[in-house]
Amino acid sequence: MRRLSLRGTFKYLLSVGLVNCCTVTNFPFIVSSARVRPNQEFTWRNSADGLVFSMESRMDAKVKKPKKHQQKHSGPKAEKKKAKKQEGLVEEDERKRNPKAFSVQSAVRMAKTFHRAQDIKTKKHHVPVVDRTPLEPPPVVIVVVGPPKVGKSTLIRCLIKNFTRQKLGDICGPVTIVSGKKRRLTFMECNNDINMMIDLTKVADLVLMLIDASFGFEMETFEFLNICQVHGFPRIMGVLTHLDSFKNNKSLRKTKKTLKHRFWTEVYQGAKLFYLSGMVYGEYQTQEVKNLGRFISVMKFRPLVWQTSHPYLLVDRMEDLTDPEQVRTDPKCDRTVSLYGFLRGAHLKNKGQVHIPGVGDFQVGDVGFLSDPCPLPDAQKKRALNEKERLLYAPMAGVGGLVYDKDAVYIDLPASHVNQLQEEARPTTELVQSLIDAHSTLDTKMAASKVSLFTGSATLDPTHISQHTRERRKVIFTQDEEEDVGEEDDGEGSDQADDEDDVECEETAAGGAPPQKKQKLEAERGRTGSCAELPAFADSEDELEMSEEEEEAGTPGDSGHSSEENEESEDELTDDDDDDGGEELGKQHSERESEEEMEEQGALRWKEGLQQKAAEAFLRQQEAAPNLRKLVYGSVVEVTESEEEEEELGGLFRVSRPQKSKKLQANALDCSRFHADTGHDWDVQEVLDSIRDCFVTGKWEEGQDAATLLKQDEELYGDFEDLETGEVHVRQPQDTQDDDDDDDGDEEPQVKMDDEEVQKNKRLEKKRRLKERFNSEYDDGDSTYFDDLKEELQKQAELNRAAFGDMDDESRVQYEGFRPGMYIRVEIGSLPCEFVTNFDAHYPIILGGLGSSEGNLGYLQMRLKKHRWYERILKTKDPLIFSLGWRRFQTIPLFHMEDHNGRHRLLKYTPQHMHCGASIWGPITPQGSGFLAVQSVTGSKASFRIAATGVVLDLDKSVTIVKKLKLIGYPFKIFKNTCFVKGMFNTVLEVAKFEGASVRTVSGIRGQIKKALSSPAGAFRATFEDRLLMSDIVFLRSWYPVSVPQLYNPVTSLLLPAGQKDSWSGMRTLGQLKHDLGIRNKPNPDCLYKPVVRAPRRFNPLHIPKELQKALPFKSKPKQQQPKGKTPRDLQRPSVIREPHERKVAALLHALSTVHNYKRKNAHKVQHAKHKEFLQQKEKDEEAKLKRQREAKKKLYRVMGQKDQKKQRSSLKGAPSDL
């Protein structure tokens, strides 16, 4: 039992059950209330029977405050400190105190250290890119990945609870939360299915990789890491769980260390690995989760190439918009589906092409942006988020904002929100509801309201409109819109004025405003043309207009059938406007009149020759602010309607004006030249003067004029002293004075103020220039290419932000597309019905935008390497599943190797440890995109599943892979170096094709094909560098082009029924097919082992020539020994047959001789032994004799020696006496 603290005046003791209920319902409240009061603290205590939840307060005054630190001012301690301080002052600068230590010891070493420092500095540089991150970025996608039962859902739940204080049951689909003032997070759980792992890697910003420490790494972890490596490496953070299963602390530490180091080798040295030490009531420890959350919320992400260059959506809400009736009649019909999510990556263009991994490629039907369901808090200066701002949005999990059922909308609000919201909502419930509705379905609403105008007055009821639910509206849209258009067209044909009215009405209705306003508007239209009455969410087109031409207060009715018409109405409006000057008005009047005249002449004439029109239009633009945008792009409504016209009316109303004019213009001369027919007469001086300032000889602007520039220089450098002469030049002060006087000559009263102002401005300007100059001079030496580039890109980024920053979103999306960070709704028609029927929210739906030609198919040439952990090598022409770009698809690769001469040569198998080329038929994907390949995505295998990885090198519409082909022929007639060869070709034509080709024999003799022979067919004459043998084989080495099979089979795993989504199987490999069908290849009989049969060897007799025989010595001469022939009969002796008596005698003799022989043998044996003994004796004697002799000799020598000694001694004795 561990207790953190127990010092309280009162405690809450709760049973386990109570605590549970507290965490479910009131826990957030309690926590927050605890936060309010600072002196409270919580204590958690584990006890045998449950949890003791104690809360204590130190509010009472009895508790003593801790003693404050007092600084000593006297005594030894204080003196010591003082002395130290003074000393410190003396030896302040180390360099000065000890200059020797800092002097240059070695120039070489200094250079080396400098180089090293520079190297390290440069290594840190990345290639700078333009910062295209939006101001309000989309939520960060955090993918939580790991093998089953490792605690993924628990971790997500804990993190969500940590950030939002809310509990989420089933984690289903993406969960978006607001984690801080500037950051939102989207959590997504990734299960063990390799399809899901691949898809989520492509959208992940951060990966939380859960690892079961009690088990260690699992294959999925490594697979996922490898997938990450291929598709750009998102941030990866490891999380170790199940650490409480370790009983032994030492083994825990050891495991942590080994796991950490393995993780580091996979990710990078020092990658963050979190430890979640244990569970407390099915949740991770709060402090640990909090730490993890902090790490996540301060993390920075690197831009990944693929993600930043493509728009994508992690769909968090899906709705089926298909007509229910159609679904009823044909359950398998294609569905229209709207998908919602935060846009990420790049800008998304309307009507672009997208790929949904697991489903296929689709054309985006319609895109619209909605209000953010999970917005960041408004900019405020406080530190933390309040309860209201901690939002949670997970429609697929059934939490946050709106939950759509089949025919109802549930608005789910957290308990804390309810009170405030209700207060707001009560008075204008309709408004709120319509707002909630309107943002999501603006376009559908437009369509619906259009209808309501024409079908009857009853539908004009505003309550009716607001009561419409989404599905019902959709039905109306499909049924009635066309009718509506038809009606509208009829009206147009009949009467012009009427038409305008109609359109105006329609306009108001389309805006989604209550139709009650219509009459009022119409009434007002005569007097003012102001748009103030128009609803805020009017037609987007109008919004644009407003922003562009602010002078014209009135937004024209966006009838938009032709630009002229629009301009006319504009004119009308400006005509009515009081603000405009009279002169301008007059011009417009005249213009309008002329236009009306033309109108009367007929529609056909009006539209004749758009070139002239354009020129005229431009001229007109000079008077009134023109609407070039409309001239160029028309209005969106116009385009669609004119198309519908064509479809709808067919031959009946062919004579319509715009159509006709288009026809006339359609086949005109295609020329880029712009012929001027403006009628400027360039002989007139005035006209000439109008462009006078375009030339350097003309007048310059204030800031750039040479005179002013000179003067500025004067100001800067006017005062100087010539040091040689000692002259001091001072600039003339009256110079500027004069100038000022000139400027202010006319208006004296205001001069004083202006003068000061001017002076001040001038001073500021001068200061700025000086600073600029100083900066440029100062930084010049230091700025590198890298710095310049970075600065340039920084400027571009600023420009990007500024260019459309001041526009409203409606018009902005038209120019730059939908910004990343927007919450958008994408409508896609003709999705397969399985997408809806087999929808499983646990699987991510990703909408990946495609570049301009990425929707096409072609041949891709890639560099591929079999993964070193994959057990087998890959076979050419075996189907393989690739993950490339957004897509997962099955295709048939051909492996090849590039020869030294650039030839791509087919390989049968991938090399073991080397890169090779691979060519596939697949979707065009930009070069440099990484890919990975797997053999199958079905189920899970024990072994590593990623078969190969690589990168796209080249895209083309044809391939040049060849394989070697050896044609073999046999010589059938050989002249000197010429030879006739047969068997290589079948016809003369074939030979003709290969005339001049080089051939070779097996023995290495090279030659050339010369000419075909008439017979036999296919034989030819060839010359060689040497004479051939009949046994030679001639071969011709040639290269045969191989074609890449055009198989592109997208993996449609998302269409499979729920629960079986990981069981997609495509084309089988040859090996699998054979295995399944039980087919075994008949082996080539030549390759089989056979018993070795060896024939006995026969040698011919050796023949020695007679001459040689003669010369040989006798020993070596062959002996003429004839084998003995059979003895002739006459020489054969007859056998003797004995008489019985003789036989007895012979037997006796034999017995006797046997006995005799025995005796003799024995005697001989005895004799032998005796002799041996004798020899031994003799030897012994000999030895004794020798011994004796030696003794004697010894004695003798001794005596002799003694004698000698004596003699010597005597001689020696004698000698001294002699001396």
Q: Which stretch binds other proteins (CB under 8 A): 286-294, 619-627, 1175-1183, 1209-1217?
A: 619-627
What's the 3-state SS for 816-833? HCECCCCEEEEEEEEECH
371, 401 contact by CB (below 8 A) = no
* Angle of CA points 568, 572, 576, to nearest 5°: 165
Task: Confirm or reject binding of residue 626 to other proteins (CB under 8 A).
Answer: yes
How many Cα atoms sit within 13 Å of 69 on the Cβ side? 1
Task: Confirm or reject binding of residue 633 to other proteins (CB under 8 A).
Answer: yes
Sign of the Cα pseudo-torsion (925, 930, 936, 940, in order): negative
Task: Confirm or reject binding of residue 668 to other proteins (CB under 8 A).
Answer: yes
414, 422 contact by CB (below 8 A) = no
982, 969 contact by CB (below 8 A) = yes
User: Of 585 and 614, which CB lies nearer to other proteins in the complex structure?
Assistant: 614
Task: Confirm or reject binding of residue 1012 to other proteins (CB under 8 A).
Answer: no
Q: Give the H or E element holding residue 42.
A: strand 40-46
Residue numbers 807-866 binding other proteins by CB under 8 A: 814-817, 851-858
Coil vs helix vs strand at 1195: helix
**How many residues of this chain interact with other proteins, rule: CB under 8 A?**
87
Interacting residue with other proteins among 151, 512, 923, 971 (CB under 8 A): 923
Task: Confirm or reject binding of residue 958 to other proteins (CB under 8 A).
Answer: yes
User: Can you list the pairs that 422-426 forms with residues at least 24 positions away whose Cβ atoms lie under 8 Å?
Assistant: none
User: Of 351 and 1133, which CB lies nearer to other proteins in the complex structure?
Assistant: 351
Task: Confirm or reject binding of residue 768 to other proteins (CB under 8 A).
Answer: no
Q: Which stretch binds other proteins (CB under 8 A): 187-195, 272-280, 359-367, 936-944?
A: 359-367
Task: Confirm or reject binding of residue 691 to other proteins (CB under 8 A).
Answer: yes
Tokens (6 digits) for 5: 């603290």
User: Of 639 and 1196, which CB lies nearer to other proteins in the complex structure?
Assistant: 639
Coil vs helix vs strand at 142: strand
User: What is the closest distance, in whole angstroms, from the C-beta atom of residue 526 to other proteins in the complex?
Assistant: 30
Measured from the Cβ of residue 586, the count of other Cβ atoms closer than 10 Å reads: 10
Task: Confirm or reject binding of residue 926 to other proteins (CB under 8 A).
Answer: yes
Residue 1194 is classified by DSSP as: H
User: Of 413 and 803, which CB lies nearer to other proteins in the complex structure?
Assistant: 803
Interacting residue with other proteins among 31, 688, 992, 1196 (CB under 8 A): 688
Task: Confirm or reject binding of residue 1026 to other proteins (CB under 8 A).
Answer: no
Task: Confirm or reject binding of residue 900 to other proteins (CB under 8 A).
Answer: no
Interacting residue with other proteins among 61, 427, 463, 674 (CB under 8 A): 674
* Among 929, 921, 941, CA closest to 871: 941
Residue numbers 1038-1097 binding other proteins by CB under 8 A: 1048, 1050
User: Of 794 and 1177, which CB lies nearer to other proteins in the complex structure?
Assistant: 794
User: What is the closest distance, in whole angstroms, from the C-beta atom of residue 765 to other proteins in the complex?
Assistant: 20
Interacting residue with other proteins among 69, 96, 426, 682 (CB under 8 A): 682
User: Of 939 and 1041, which CB lies nearer to other proteins in the complex structure?
Assistant: 1041
Coil vs helix vs strand at 732: coil
Interacting residue with other proteins among 200, 485, 510, 955 (CB under 8 A): 955
Tokens (6 digits) for 1014: 């008439």
Task: Confirm or reject binding of residue 689 to other proteins (CB under 8 A).
Answer: yes
User: What is the closest distance, in whole angstroms, from the C-beta atom of residue 930 to other proteins in the complex?
Assistant: 12
Tokens (6 digits) for 305: 């190439």
Task: Confirm or reject binding of residue 695 to other proteins (CB under 8 A).
Answer: yes
Question: Residue 368: exposed, middle, or buried by beta-carbon count in 10 A (0-12, 13-18, 19+)?
Answer: buried
Beta strands 273-275 and 235-241, pairing class: parallel
Task: Confirm or reject binding of residue 927 to other proteins (CB under 8 A).
Answer: yes
Residue numbers 583-602 binding other proteins by CB under 8 A: none
Task: Confirm or reject binding of residue 673 to other proteins (CB under 8 A).
Answer: yes
How many Cα atoms sit within 13 Å of 1197 on the Cβ side? 6
Q: Give the H or E element holding residue 194.
A: helix 194-203
Measured from the Cβ of residue 164, the count of other Cβ atoms closer than 10 Å reads: 23
Task: Confirm or reject binding of residue 669 to other proteins (CB under 8 A).
Answer: yes
User: What is the closest distance, in whole angstroms, from the C-beta atom of residue 132 to other proteins in the complex?
Assistant: 6
Tokens (6 digits) for 151: 């605690």
User: What is the closest distance, in whole angstroms, from the C-beta atom of residue 508 to other proteins in the complex?
Assistant: 26
User: What is the closest distance, in whole angstroms, from the C-beta atom of residue 583 to other proteins in the complex?
Assistant: 13
Task: Confirm or reject binding of residue 103 to other proteins (CB under 8 A).
Answer: no
Q: Which stretch binds other proteins (CB under 8 A): 72-80, 350-358, 442-450, 524-532?
A: 350-358
User: Of 361 and 595, which CB lies nearer to other proteins in the complex structure?
Assistant: 361
Measured CA distances, 1191 to 1195, 1198, 1200, 1205 (Å): 6, 11, 14, 21
Measured CA distances, 494 to 418, 497, 653, 656, 908 (Å): 55, 9, 12, 12, 74
Spatial distance between the Cα atoms of 47 and 1011, rounded to a whole number of angstroms: 102
Beta strands 930-934 and 880-884, pairing class: antiparallel
Q: Where do we find the tokens 């409006």?
A: 573
393, 399 contact by CB (below 8 A) = yes
User: What is the closest distance, in whole angstroms, from the C-beta atom of residue 590 to other proteins in the complex?
Assistant: 20
231, 883 contact by CB (below 8 A) = yes
What distance lies between CA 803 and its chain's CA centroid? Answer: 29
Would you give the binding string for other proteins spanning residues 699-738, x where CB under 8 A is met? xx--------------------------------------
Would you give the binding string for other proteins spanning residues 218-257, x where CB under 8 A is met? ----------------------------------------
Task: Confirm or reject binding of residue 18 to other proteins (CB under 8 A).
Answer: no
User: Of 14 and 631, which CB lies nearer to other proteins in the complex structure?
Assistant: 631
Spatial distance between the Cα atoms of 922 and 1071, rounded to a whole number of angstroms: 23
Residue numbers 286-325 binding other proteins by CB under 8 A: 309
Task: Confirm or reject binding of residue 611 to other proteins (CB under 8 A).
Answer: yes
Task: Confirm or reject binding of residue 268 to other proteins (CB under 8 A).
Answer: no
Interacting residue with other proteins among 678, 1081, 1084, 1121 (CB under 8 A): 678
* Residue 1161 CB partners (closer than 8 Å, separation 6+): none
User: Of 407 and 689, which CB lies nearer to other proteins in the complex structure?
Assistant: 689
Residue numbers 786-805 binding other proteins by CB under 8 A: 796, 799-800, 803-804
Would you give the binding string for other proteins spanning residues 131-170, x where CB under 8 A is met? -x--------------------------------------
User: What is the closest distance, in whole angstroms, from the C-beta atom of residue 1016 to other proteins in the complex?
Assistant: 42
Task: Confirm or reject binding of residue 924 to other proteins (CB under 8 A).
Answer: yes
Q: Which stretch binds other proteins (CB under 8 A): 332-340, 429-437, 680-688, 1180-1188?
A: 680-688
Spatial distance between the Cα atoms of 1200 and 798, rounded to a whole number of angstroms: 132
Spatial distance between the Cα atoms of 1197 and 1183, rounded to a whole number of angstroms: 21
End-to-end CA distance of the chain: 121
Interacting residue with other proteins among 225, 228, 346, 1044 (CB under 8 A): 346
Interacting residue with other proteins among 14, 30, 55, 130 (CB under 8 A): 130
Question: Residue 541: exposed, middle, or buried by beta-carbon count in 10 A (0-12, 13-18, 19+)?
Answer: buried
Residue numbers 928-947 binding other proteins by CB under 8 A: 928
Q: Which stretch binds other proteins (CB under 8 A): 147-155, 245-253, 346-354, 598-606?
A: 346-354
Measured CA distances, 698 to 681, 686, 694 (Å): 20, 14, 7
Tokens (6 digits) for 893: 């690769």
User: What is the closest distance, in whole angstroms, from the C-beta atom of residue 202 to other proteins in the complex?
Assistant: 18
